[in-house]
Structure 1
Amino acid sequence: MKSYTILIAIIGGSIGIMAIIFGLDIGKMSISTQEYSLYVDPIIDKQSLFVTGRITIQNTGSKLLTNLHVNFGDGDTLDIKSLKPGEKIILSPPSDNSMQFVMINADNDIFVSKAYRELPKMVGMMGS
């Protein structure tokens, strides 16, 4: 009977340690570790009749981002006053834009420059 108790204690302790390790690892993904950080994801969708683009911008830092300046290229720009921590916005570039890249800068030395990426086409989906 005593050997079963020891075995159950070892298994329970192992599960507890694994839960703590995985919990801390998941916590790193959901809790911002930097004060000022910006996530930018520009996507271009080329259809047979038209081309659309969208840019996802999210404040992944723990503090407010201010004075964001979005440069879509081709002389097209947009100014955003602020972005709260965790706040996400989706922007569309002007329809006549060549959609090659997007550059975003903000206060506190934030600068992100990314080229548009194209999502893979799936069989049966529009534009494939």
Structure 2
Amino acid sequence: MGVIGIMAAIFGFDVMKLSVATQDYALFVDPIIDKQSLFVTGRITIQNIGSQTLTNIHVNFGAGDTLDIKTLKSGQKIILSPPPGNPMEFVMINADHDVFVNKAYRELPKMVGMMGS
């Protein structure tokens, strides 16, 4: 019973980090690439996990492809797709108040029986 309680506390604190803003300005970025046999798709999840609104968000998809977003309210999440022909290697995002995130795309594991596996 004690081990289960400790595990519940650890996972509970991990979930709380996503729902309770601990910083004024913070950004969660998750770039995912999905390689199928006939095509490749990508998506970038961006969420303001800070307690304040983020402003002047600049998304750099690489290869000269960029996108500017004026504001992202606290807790707001958006999902973007990189422009067609983008090599989908990394995404860099910066915003006011010295917010900067640089992440490489990650590939989701293939599930048996799923398309592309």
Higher helix share: 1
> How far apart are the structure 1 equivalents of 2:14 and 2:107?
29
> 2:60 matched to 1:71?
yes
Partner of 1:31: 20
Q: Deviations over 1:41-62 (max 9, x none)?
A: 0000000000000000000000
**TM-score of the superposed pair, with normalisation by structure 1:** 0.79
Partner of 1:48: 37
Residue 95 of structure 1: CA displacement?
1.5
Partner of 1:108: 97
Q: Which runs of 5 or more residues in structure 1 are unaligned?
A: 1-17
Q: Which runs of 5 or more residues in structure 2 are unaligned?
A: none
> How far apart are the structure 1 equivalents of 2:40 and 2:106?
13
Structure 2 counterpart of 1:80, from 49, 69, 74: 69
Root-mean-square deviation (CA, aligned residues, Å) is 1.7
- Matched positions, count: 107
**Matched residues, percent identical?**
74
Regions of 4+ moved over 2 Å: 24-30
